[in-house]
């Protein structure tokens, strides 16, 4: 009996050790590119390729050049405005759509839901040219309004499918009690459902903002100067002949700051929302 217990304990220790090693390797593989980008921003261009990733004399020259670049600063402002605006619109519209798809009974409800999912799976490269033609006709090309609408178009289907299990999990009792108290449909949505699905809203907001913040293809094709976002501006630092590696990595590090701040400050709510959504789904 003791021998069996000892074997089981030994197997558990071996499995735990293997999982630890595998997790450590995955962590190193995931973090190494980020560390290289961060450290390279403090190097001279020549040191990035000559020395190892962690052997260098720190300098802030690349950051000074990037932060004195008015075009890059304007693109950061555009990215922030586009990210926040598209996220707010996507959350409001997506939440209303999820509410309707889960709380009302009507024909083709599932077909409509799967249509949203199918639209989200369409490659961006297949849609960018039609969007270019349409925005050019409507005079929305190279405008913040146009790029916001483009980002909303791929964020809304994601938000809808992320929020569906949260709205579906709300008991009918809350809805019926609100109606008995004389609440209108609008009041039920905003005052009853919106607070109850807040974990899902946090998760959807974070992912919608990050997808908008990192989006490159639409911004590259649909903007030129006035509405250029940060990813396109960073790409511009590649230069025509010789890439400005120090400025590239410094700009990339600056773009990482909002990602780190959002994920680290909201990680508890993100994990809670993902777990709740997985259980409710």
Same domain, 36 and 113: no
Domain span including residue 14: 2-40
pLDDT of residue 13: 81
- The model's pLDDT over 59-70, given as tens digits with 9 standing for 90+, comes to 888 899 999 999
Q: Is residue 56 in some structural domain?
A: no
Q: Is residue 117 in some structural domain?
A: yes
Same domain, 22 and 116: no
Q: Is residue 142 in some structural domain?
A: yes
pLDDT of residue 148: 96
pTM: 0.84
CA dist., res. 124 & res. 197, Å (int) = 29
The two structure tokens encoding residue 170 = 């709300």
As a whole-number percent, the residues of the chain with pLDDT over 90 amount to: 34
Same domain, 70 and 35: no
Tell me what the mean pLDDT of segment 170-197 comes to: 86
Q: In the predicted model, is pLDDT for residue 276 greater than 80?
A: no
pLDDT band at 279 (very low <50, low <70, confident <90, very high): very low
Backbone angles phi, psi at 6, to 5 degrees: -65, -40
Q: In the predicted model, is pLDDT for residue 119 greater than 70?
A: yes
What is each CA distance from 276 to 87, 101, 114, in whole angstroms? 21, 19, 22
Q: In the predicted model, is pLDDT for residue 38 greater than 60?
A: yes
Q: Is residue 53 in some structural domain?
A: no
Distance of CA 266 to the CA centre of its chain: 13
Same domain, 181 and 217: yes
Q: Is residue 47 in some structural domain?
A: no
At 184 the three-state DSSP class reads coil
Same domain, 273 and 190: yes
The two structure tokens encoding residue 208 = 């919608």
pLDDT of residue 216: 93
pLDDT band at 103 (very low <50, low <70, confident <90, very high): confident
Q: In the predicted model, is pLDDT for residue 5 greater than 70?
A: no
Q: Enter the DSSP assignment of 51.
A: S
pLDDT of residue 273: 62
Look up the CATH number of the domain holding residue 155: 1.10.3720.10
Q: Is residue 50 in some structural domain?
A: no
Same domain, 112 and 8: no
Whole-number mean pLDDT of the chain? 85
Q: Is residue 48 in some structural domain?
A: no
Same domain, 193 and 237: yes
The two structure tokens encoding residue 103 = 């709380």
**Are 135 and 196 in contact, with CB atoms under 8 Å apart?**
no
- The domain tally of the chain equals 2
Same domain, 260 and 124: yes
Tell me what the mean pLDDT of segment 122-151 comes to: 92
Q: Is residue 46 in some structural domain?
A: no
Tell me what the mean pLDDT of segment 21-31 comes to: 89
**Are 45 and 239 in contact, with CB atoms under 8 Å apart?**
no
Mention every residue, 6+ apart, whose C-beta is less than 8 A from residue 202: 266, 269, 270, 273
């Amino acid at each position: 009996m003791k021998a069996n217990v000892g074997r089981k304990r030994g197997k558990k220790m071996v499995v735990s050790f293997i999982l630890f090693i595998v997790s450590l390797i995955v962590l190193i593989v995931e973090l190494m590119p980020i560390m290289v980008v961060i450290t390279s921003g403090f190097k001279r261009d020549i040191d990035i390729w000559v020395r190892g990733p962690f052997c260098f004399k720190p300098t802030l020259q690349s950051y000074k050049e990037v932060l004195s670049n008015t075009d890059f600063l304007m693109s950061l402002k555009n990215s922030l405005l586009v990210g926040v605006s598209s996220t707010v619109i996507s959350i409001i519209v997506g939440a209303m759509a999820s509410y309707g798809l889960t709380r009302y009974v009507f024909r083709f409800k599932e077909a409509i839901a799967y249509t949203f999912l199918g639209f989200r799976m369409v490659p961006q490269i297949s849609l960018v040219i039609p969007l270019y033609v349409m925005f050019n006709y409507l005079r929305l090309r190279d405008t913040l309004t146009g790029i916001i609408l483009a980002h909303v178009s791929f964020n809304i289907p994601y938000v809808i499918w992320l929020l569906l299990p949260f709205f579906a999990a709300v008991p009918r009792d809350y809805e019926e009690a609100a109606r008995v108290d004389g609440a209108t449909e609008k009041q039920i949505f905003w005052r009853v459902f919106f607070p109850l699905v807040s974990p899902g809203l946090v998760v959807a907001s974070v992912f919608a903002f990050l997808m908008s913040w990192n989006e490159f293809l639409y911004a590259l094709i649909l903007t030129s100067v006035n509405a250029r976002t940060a990813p396109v501006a960073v790409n511009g630092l590649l230069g025509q002949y010789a890439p400005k590696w120090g400025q590239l990595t410094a700009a990339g590090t600056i773009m990482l700051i909002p990602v780190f701040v959002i994920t680290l400050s909201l990680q508890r709510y993100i994990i809670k929302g993902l777990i709740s959504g997985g259980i409710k789904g």
